[in-house]
């Protein structure tokens, strides 16, 4: 079955390029587009006739897409529209960018086709970490003891209760752009005795505080439709990655396919579905005692390095999902040599 897929993402996204190549091999066409190119390098049209007919189009320097005949839209990692450089007035730029974002966002949501991982507004709701933790607990996942607060006293009580073995993390994305164009980031961090001396700063905004959970390995569980691909990240073999595997040197960190117990795999599928998603990247900890502890779900989480390291066919599964709405049985069980 051929189809036309629109992939909305940042420029030079290897995940998008990989899936576009796999789709082309199946006879399907994929158009990769970043909404940040609108309106400078792209045109979006929506025409409504007197009899109620609608025509929606996207035109770029290389593509003319009839949006009403798409098979699916993959909201991979789209960026907001950017006004033309000729518009130098800050208020005018902000107004134009708001207008462009309102129209483009509304247009994507109108399309009568499959949306992966979900319509954008649903993705925003699914990203709320406090809601994820509540849902995960109701579904039977074990959670780390967790506190979200801006009360320094509550933080200090939590610190004492866990004898200082705690970590902190952000509620939002770990990377935030600065006005000068640079990014600042903060990953999961252990709390030191020096940090405790500055506990009063917590009053300025909320932070997630969790007990430190000992790890045998960390698990990245990628759910595509109802297919589950689990990989072990042997982060404890490196001091750099001990608290957050995203610090690691990819070439020196071991990855292996992991077979989840049926009950854990079922809960992974259920939490993604209950969040209204067709795709989710779930982070779990496997403790030295063999317990599975839930951390979070990322609706747009990375996966290509896992596929390359383990042979898990995540890209092919995404192609199935975009084209057919489900992952084929033969795709679920293909594991290539890393």
Same domain for 205 and 224, yes or no, is no
Same domain for 72 and 164, yes or no, is no
pTM comes to: 0.90
The pLDDT assigned to 252 comes to: 66
Same domain for 222 and 320, yes or no, is yes
d(CA 188, CA 211): 12
SS3 for 294?
Answer: strand
| Positive or negative torsion for Cα 271, 275, 277, 282 | negative
* Nearest C-alpha neighbor of 236 from the set 221, 247, 223, 222: 247
* Nearest C-alpha neighbor of 332 from the set 264, 257, 220: 257
- pLDDT per residue as tens digits for the range 136-156: 999 999 999 999 999 999 999
In a domain, 129, yes or no: no
Same domain for 270 and 185, yes or no, is no
Domain tally, the chain: 3
d(CA 304, CA 135): 27
d(CA 327, CA 318): 8
d(CA 173, CA 330): 35
The pLDDT assigned to 314 comes to: 98
d(CA 179, CA 181): 5
CA 274 centroid distance within chain = 16
The pLDDT assigned to 337 comes to: 45
Q: Which residues of the chain have pLDDT under 70?
A: 1-2, 173-187, 237-252, 335-338
Q: Which domain does 29 fall in, by range?
A: 4-116
Same domain for 231 and 246, yes or no, is yes
In a domain, 235, yes or no: yes
CA dihedral 20, 21, 25, 28 (to 10 degrees): 20
Query: In the structure encoding, which two tokens stand for residue 235, read together?
Result: 């982060």
């Amino acid at each position: 079955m051929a189809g036309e897929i629109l992939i909305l993402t940042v420029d030079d996204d290897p995940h998008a390029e990989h899936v576009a190549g796999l789709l082309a091999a199946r006879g399907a066409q994929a158009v990769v587009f970043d909404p940040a190119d609108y309106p400078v390098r792209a045109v979006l049209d929506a025409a409504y006739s007197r009899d109620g007919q609608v025509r929606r189009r996207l035109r770029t320097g290389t593509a003319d897409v009839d949006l009403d005949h798409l098979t699916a839209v993959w909201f991979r990692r789209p960026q907001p529209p950017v006004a033309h450089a000729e518009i130098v007035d800050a208020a005018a730029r902000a107004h134009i960018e708001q207008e462009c974002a309102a129209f483009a966002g509304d247009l994507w949501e109108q399309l009568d086709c499959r949306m992966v991982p979900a319509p954008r507004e649903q993705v925003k709701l699914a990203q709320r970490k406090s809601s994820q933790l509540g849902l995960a607990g109701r579904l039977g996942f074990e959670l780390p003891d967790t506190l979200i607060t801006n009360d320094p006293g509550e933080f200090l009580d939590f610190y004492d209760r866990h004898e200082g073995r705690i970590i902190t993390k952000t509620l939002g994305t770990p990377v935030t752009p600065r006005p000068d164009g640079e990014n600042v980031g903060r990953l999961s961090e252990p709390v030191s005795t020096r940090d405790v001396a500055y506990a009063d700063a917590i009053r300025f905004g909320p932070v997630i505080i969790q007990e430190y959970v000992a790890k045998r390995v960390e698990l990245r569980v990628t759910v595509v439709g109802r297919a589950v691909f689990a990989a072990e990240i042997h982060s404890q073999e490196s001091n750099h990655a001990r608290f957050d595997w995203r610090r690691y040197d990819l070439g020196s960190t071991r990855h292996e396919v992991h077979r989840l117990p049926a009950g854990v795999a079922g809960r992974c599928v259920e939490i993604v579905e209950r969040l209204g998603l067709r795709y989710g990247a779930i982070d779990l900890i496997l403790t030295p005692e063999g317990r599975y502890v839930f951390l979070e779900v990322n609706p747009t989480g990375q996966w290509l390095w896992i596929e390359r390291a383990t042979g898990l066919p995540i890209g092919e599964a995404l192609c199935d999902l975009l084209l057919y709405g489900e992952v084929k049985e033969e795709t679920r069980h293909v594991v290539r040599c890393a």
